């Protein structure tokens, strides 16, 4: 069996490794246009902020997978679905080649969005997606004093904090009414915004960027009714899936404009799979197609597609989009549906928000923890949660398991937990939130 994987990031690497473990006899080829192997884009803001020593620390050496031919610096140009061939170009030698496959896995990923606005091509306007992006930003930092980050999703928030750590005057601009709009309700987002402001970041919401001004190099960002000086701009407005190869091959896209896949991650062509940032996922709660451009989703998809391409029968059941980020030293996480997302799916909800401490009040290091839980109103089936403060990621992970198991609010309120004053309070904040939600029926 010949398996070809296009793309060698989290999804592609996992697919190739899993296929090898499942089928020791398969001939596996990985095609990657980068000249280096897997890297960790989520670490880029932390290199800029100085928490990670250098960009090279984010790049993995090409893993030696027995029986897997990893070809770096080779770009897939087209897929001949009739002949089952991938047409590639060696970027070092300019040599063209056709690589046969029995099963093909597309892990082509995504690219940073760049808005079509006046001045977008001025110098010192960057995205933050690749190692090369990081190199350009680090090179520009010594000559920069004022920075504007456009887009207040997780990467934008982390980047704004990182630039502030570097000593720059930073403004964070979000066109929607609140920051982290996909993760948090506005009142929860306000807590995070206040933390950013306290750290010295100016937060501007409900304003879109109209124009970027400068002579050769950016000097200001124009918003509705305001012009902000800037000698460095980071565009963190999201990513778009790389689906051109799939579209040229005649594969179907879903309503999210990503490659449509079934529960085995097969595309509209049964011999081709799609995974990671280019592939559509399904919400585990609503069953609706969603974007889930997360490394964790890519890895889970890679395992499923790797097994299936190698002859197995594995199901990808869906996602809850568990996300965590850091904002001014504050841990922020979410999982599942917000009340707004649930309403859009036609689900009537009840929710509760609590604020408690991470440890007993008398113990040093006790910090505020804010939690919102969301449940279906009638049966009290858990739907989602938002977490701000110490242990946010851990509690989001626990709630993700509870949602997957179909737990109710009452069942969550009865879970066992551990207690010791140096570590946690006598009643876990997640249980406090569940008890509060029970009273909201």
Active site residues: 42
Per the listing, tokens 């060696």 go with 90
Residues 6+ apart with CB under 8 A from 63: 13, 17, 37, 38, 70
Q: Where are the alpha helices (DSSP H) in 109-153?
A: 131-140
> Distance (Å, rounded) from C-alpha 3 to C-alpha 355?
51
Grouping H, G, I as helix, E, B as strand and the rest as coil, residue 95 is strand
The length of the chain is 441
Grouping H, G, I as helix, E, B as strand and the rest as coil, residue 12 is helix
CA angle 319, 324, 330 (to 5 degrees): 160
Q: Are 273 and 261 in contact (CB under 8 A)?
A: yes
> Distance (Å, rounded) from C-alpha 125 to C-alpha 139?
12
Residues 6+ apart with CB under 8 A from 420: none
Q: Give kind and range of the element (H or E) at residue 13.
A: helix 10-22
Tell which residue, 333, 314, 268, 258, has the closest CA to residue 290: 258
Angle between helices 429-438 and 392-404 (to 10 degrees): 50
Query: Could you tell me the two tokens for 317?
Result: 């059941």
What is the rounded end-to-end Cα distance, in angstroms, of the chain?
56
DSSP characters over 114-148? ----BTTTSBTEEE-SSHHHHHHHHHHGGG-SEEE
CA angle 411, 413, 419 (to 5 degrees): 130
> Distance (Å, rounded) from C-alpha 127 to C-alpha 41?
12
> Distance (Å, rounded) from C-alpha 237 to C-alpha 175?
10
Query: Could you tell me the two tokens for 259?
Result: 């490659």
- The values of phi and psi at residue 322, to 5°, are -75, 125
> Distance (Å, rounded) from C-alpha 68 to C-alpha 62?
11
């Amino acid at each position: 069996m010949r398996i070809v994987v296009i793309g060698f990031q989290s999804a592609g690497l996992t697919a190739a490794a899993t296929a090898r473990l499942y089928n020791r006899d398969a001939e596996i080829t990985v095609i990657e246009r980068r000249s280096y192997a897997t890297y960790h884009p989520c670490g880029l803001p932390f290199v800029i902020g100085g928490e990670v020593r250098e960009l090279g620390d984010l790049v993995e050496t090409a893993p030696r997978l027995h029986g897997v031919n990893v070809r770096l610096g080779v770009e897939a140009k087209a897929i001949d679905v009739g002949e089952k061939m991938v047409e590639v170009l060696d970027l070092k030698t300019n040599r063209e080649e056709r690589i046969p496959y029995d099963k093909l896995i597309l892990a082509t990923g995504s690219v940073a969005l760049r808005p079509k606005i006046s001045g977008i091509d001025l110098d010192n306007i960057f995205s933050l997606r690749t190692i090369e992006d990081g190199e350009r930003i680090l090179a520009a930092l010594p000559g920069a004093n004022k920075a504007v980050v456009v887009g207040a999703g997780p990467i934008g928030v982390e980047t704004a904090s990182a630039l502030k750590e570097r000593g720059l005057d930073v403004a964070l601009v979000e066109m929607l009414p609140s920051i982290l709009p996909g993760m948090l309700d506005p009142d929860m987002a306000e807590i995070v915004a206040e933390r950013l402001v306290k750290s010295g970041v100016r937060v501007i919401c409900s304003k879109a960027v109209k124009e970027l001004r400068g002579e050769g190099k950016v000097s200001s960002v124009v918003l509705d009714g305001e012009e902000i000086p800037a000698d460095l701009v980071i565009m963190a407005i999201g990513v778009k899936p790389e689906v051109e190869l799939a579209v040229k091959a005649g594969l179907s896209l879903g309503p999210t404009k990503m490659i449509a896949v079934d529960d085995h991650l097969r595309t509209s062509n049964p011999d081709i799979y799609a995974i990671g940032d280019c592939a559509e996922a399904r919400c585990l709660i609503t069953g609706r197609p969603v974007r889930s451009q997360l490394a964790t989703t890519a890895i889970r998809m890679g395992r499923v597609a790797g097994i299936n391409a190698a002859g197995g029968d594995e199901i990808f059941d869906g996602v809850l989009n568990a996300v965590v980020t850091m904002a001014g030293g504050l841990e922020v996480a979410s999982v599942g549906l917000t009340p707004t997302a649930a309403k859009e799916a036609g689900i009537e909800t009840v929710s509760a928000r609590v604020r408690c401490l991470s440890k007993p009040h008398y113990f040093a290091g006790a910090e505020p923890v804010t939690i919102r839980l969301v449940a279906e109103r009638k049966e009290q089936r858990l739907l989602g949660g938002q977490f701000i403060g110490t242990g946010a990621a851990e509690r989001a992970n626990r709630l993700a398991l509870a949602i997957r198991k179909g737990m109710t609010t009452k069942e969550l309120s009865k879970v066992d937990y551990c207690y010791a004053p140096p570590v946690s309070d006598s009643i876990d904040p997640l249980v406090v939130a569940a008890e509060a939600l029970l009273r909201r029926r």
